[in-house]
């Protein structure tokens, strides 16, 4: 019998918000002061929620057309994540 490892939840430090798409964190006070950064935090959250929803709607392999549409949607989600990553670099590296 193999031991099952518990996956630890990686929480951002207190007082910060996680930008998972960009692999960064942002202090809460900065997000509250700068509207562009707050918009970035919201866009990141929306991208993560959309990806979680996408994973739950995986069609059966018996439905090839639905599966093709599902994969196309993944490309769109990846483009959105790339856009959030680029915006994070632009806003946070100023």
The C-alpha atoms of residue 56 and residue 70 are separated, in whole angstroms, by: 11
The answer on pLDDT for 79 being more than 90 is yes
- The predicted-structure confidence for 43-56, as pLDDT tens digits, reads as follows 999 999 999 999 99
Q: What is the pTM of this model?
A: 0.76
Determine the Cα angle at 62 with ends 57 and 66, to 5°: 45
The C-alpha atoms of residue 64 and residue 10 are separated, in whole angstroms, by: 36
Which among 8, 50, 44 has a CA at the least distance from the CA of 25? 44
Which among 80, 15, 86, 5 has a CA at the least distance from the CA of 43? 80
pLDDT at position 77, please?
94
């Amino acid at each position: 019998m193999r031991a099952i490892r518990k996956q630890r939840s990686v929480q951002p430090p207190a007082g910060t918000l996680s930008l998972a798409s960009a692999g960064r964190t942002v202090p809460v006070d900065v997000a509250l002061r700068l509207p562009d950064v707050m918009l970035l935090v919201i866009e990141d959250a929306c991208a993560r929620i959309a990806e979680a929803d996408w994973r739950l709607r995986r069609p059966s392999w018996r439905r090839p057309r639905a599966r093709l549409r599902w994969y196309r949607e993944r490309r769109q989600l990846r483009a959105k994540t790339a856009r959030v990553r680029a915006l994070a670099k632009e806003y946070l590296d100023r």
